Structure 1
Amino acid sequence: MSDAILQVTGLQKWFPINQGLLRRHVGDVKAVDGVTLGVGERETVGLVGESGCGKSTAGRTMLKLLEPTGGKIEFEGQDITSLNRKGMVMLRRQMQMIFQDPYNSLNPRHTVGTIVGAPYEIQGITPKGGVKRAVQEIMERVGLNPEHYNRYPNEFSGGQRQRIGIARAVVLRPKVIIADEPVSALDVSIQAQVVNLLEDIQDEFGLSYIVIAHDLSVVRHISDRVAVMYLGHLVELAPADDLYEKPLHPYTTALLSAVPVPDPDSAQRRERILLQGDLPSPSDPPSGCVFRTRCYKAQDRCATEVPLLRELEPGHTVACHFPESGGRTATQAESADVRTA
């Protein structure tokens, strides 16, 4: 993506497996293995996949909260892959993260004012009017009472704690925010409020988002493009509407078949695909296509040849040797190879 503000190319994050008294290296957990993805200015890219696919690790590695094993990370055209922690300090003003768990991501010993104001202290910035005033302004902007500046995280609800996390992430007006499951730990009644807050802040501050989630309905609502991950690999990338209406990868088709619809008897209803077998271990992924061991369309070629991401429709890329023809729905899948719920 030529106009991307944040671009990763061939991103890898492997965790070594060491055994024995001498901690001998015997293998690697390939959590992220060759992901290429970019996000443009004011764009929201959704990153989806089942638990264990590597999406959260990918997000943390993009921001260099985890050091990449391989690949390239570029921010505004600058290669930041090899920057050390000291070199990343200035870039932290421009790249922030909203964490999944609003209970564990906030220090219970610090007040809200200290938590939200910490980025100013770390960066050595004194905002006009002082830190307290700036923090209270951003608290009010995210829907918190500025008078609660001296309260502690345990005095707030889950939704309010996530708002504190959002305030901490946006207080320095960054350009890119990676939101890791920002609403999954919240009540359904609160999720829509937080998603709407993220959209409003994006419009106001001109932010770019990468939103990591497993709830496909939330991703569709907030995303311009959606990337699908499986076992550390990117298997499909498309504009949100195209991906939901015409999925080309069998894995995406299976994911979408599990999305509930308001009226089960309507024409929108898709027959549920239950993928066979367990998710393979990222320390010993299948040869060829990593999805082939659970795919209802797998053939001999899938075991020997790694499928490359290729553009089959404008802006719609897929890594599959035998993609769905025109995005067939699950009801059109081969009944002999698919068990229905």
Structure 2
Amino acid sequence: MSTTEPRTGQSTDRPAAENTGENLLEVRGLQKHFPIRQGIIFQRQVGAVRAVDGIDFSVGPGESLGLVGESGCGKSTTGRLITRLLEPTGGSVVFDGEDITHRSPGRMQEARRNLQMIFQDPYSSLNPRHTVGTIIETPMRLNGINPPQGHKKRAQELLETVGLNPEHYNRYPNEFSGGQRQRIGIARALALRPKLIVADEPVSALDVSIQAQVVNLLQDLQREFGIAFVFIAHDLAVVRHFSERVAVMYLGKIVEVAGRESLYTRPRHPYTHALLSAVPEADPDAVKRRERIRLAGDVPSPIDPPSGCRFRTRCWKAQDRCATEEPPLARAEGSPTGHLTACHFPEEPTVAAREEDIVLDPALG
């Protein structure tokens, strides 16, 4: 079954982005295999790390899609494939109606005017030798964008938009805290007024109180400018607060995609159920009521993933069929439209996590 079923939970209170098709981003069969080579002079490939191994998803204009999963599941690699910072091994990426999978670096510059990225580490993603003004102005200069008010004025306006003082224009990154540096990275991503931003763990390196500020800032910017987001994170509470739809990854595969409320209150894949059972609780009574699922064993190696369903080696519902047949990402019986699960024996909604058991950080509203 195709994963392009109608999206759920999409907000209608923001301006629509221009797009000739229904979806702004279409990812089909996307793969990234990193070769493993042996030898010093004469090298030969002896295997490959299957970081991303055939995934499908889409993002509509102005929509936010959360991409979650354990560390090493392929989330960040997926973000870099979408923005073509990494070359895909296979599959396709169609952005704004055009296939950008094999575009030359020169032609990719055109696409990147509407496709930007916010990086995970606010300390290494900013050039320490450049001033804040130069960092924000550079994308505009490289793309030949000359604002009527000038580059400096535009950069100062962007600083003000992300909650920084325009007078910070001449300062250097080492003069700012982590949260302020991430705001500078956001201002840089906004400089070209993109249609889509890939946010790769944008708050994972920040303190909890600063996380809330940055997430709420991104949400405000999304509403104001109609920007679509691929929001990569491992914090399920943050993803629920920000994203309208959520895709769950495990070992290079997407195992479940659904609207936010459908996935958090009625997860169908056992792995999603286990992730939600591990969300921290502030209420001791809720902790007692919750069924805590502890997965057995370690995550298998992406060099030699299990046959069939990749989660079967840690799944309490695994049967013989799971070892021989890979489950398709499809709508399970009893699931709402748009809720897709890659499982031969999906969880019943009655045993899934209950909404009252999912507690958000109060700072995230």
Structure 1 length-normalised TM: 0.95
**Structure 2 residue 231 is matched with structure 1 residue 208:** no
The within-5 A match list for 1:108-127 is: 108-127=128-147
Deviation at 1:267, TM superposition (A): 7.7
- CA distance in 2 between partners of 1:226 and 1:287 (Å): 25
Aligned residues: 331
Deviation readout 1:117-172 (Å, 9 max, x if unpaired): 11012112211111000000000010011001010001001110000000000111
Aligned residue for 1:265, secondary structure, equals: helix
Aligned residue for 1:4, secondary structure, equals: coil
Whether the 8 Å CA contact 1:15–1:28 is kept in 2: the answer is: yes
**Structure 2 residue 352 is matched with structure 1 residue 324:** no
Whether the 8 Å CA contact 2:266–2:353 is kept in 1: the answer is: no
Q: Unaligned stretches of 5+ in structure 2?
A: 5-20, 355-365
The verdict on how the C-alpha distance between 1:153 and 1:119 changes in structure 2, with shifts beyond 3 A counting, is: same
Deviation at 1:270, TM superposition (A): 1.9
**Structure 2 residue 158 is matched with structure 1 residue 138:** yes
Aligned partner of 1:96 in structure 2 is: 116
Deviation at 1:279, TM superposition (A): 0.7
Deviation readout 1:49-70 (Å, 9 max, x if unpaired): 0000001001110111101100
Aligned partner of 1:303 in structure 2 is: 323
**Structure 2 residue 34 is matched with structure 1 residue 15:** yes
Aligned partner of 2:94 in structure 1 is: 74
Aligned partner of 2:211 in structure 1 is: 191
Aligned partner of 1:315 in structure 2 is: 338
> Which fold has the larger relative contact order, with Cα–Cα distance below 8 Å and residues 6 or more apart in sequence?
2
Aligned residue for 1:36, secondary structure, equals: strand
- CA distance in 2 between partners of 1:330 and 1:106 (Å): 40
Aligned partner of 1:160 in structure 2 is: 180
Q: Which residue type is aligned with residue 8 of structure 1?
A: V
- CA distance in 2 between partners of 1:47 and 1:266 (Å): 26
Aligned residue for 2:285, secondary structure, equals: coil
- CA distance in 1 between partners of 2:133 and 2:289 (Å): 48
- CA distance in 2 between partners of 1:281 and 1:128 (Å): 53
Aligned partner of 2:23 in structure 1 is: 4
What is the CA RMSD across the aligned residues, in angstroms?
Answer: 1.3
2:264 aligned to which of 238, 241, 244: 244
- CA distance in 2 between partners of 1:278 and 1:327 (Å): 28
Deviation at 1:322, TM superposition (A): 0.5
Whether the 8 Å CA contact 1:46–1:226 is kept in 2: the answer is: yes
Whether the 8 Å CA contact 2:281–2:287 is kept in 1: the answer is: no
Aligned partner of 2:13 in structure 1 is: none
- CA distance in 1 between partners of 2:121 and 2:92 (Å): 28
Q: State the percentage of identical aligned residues.
A: 66
Aligned partner of 1:338 in structure 2 is: none
Aligned residue for 1:252, secondary structure, equals: helix
- CA distance in 1 between partners of 2:350 and 2:84 (Å): 35
Q: Which residue type is aligned with residue 303 of structure 1?
A: A
- CA distance in 1 between partners of 2:129 and 2:99 (Å): 37
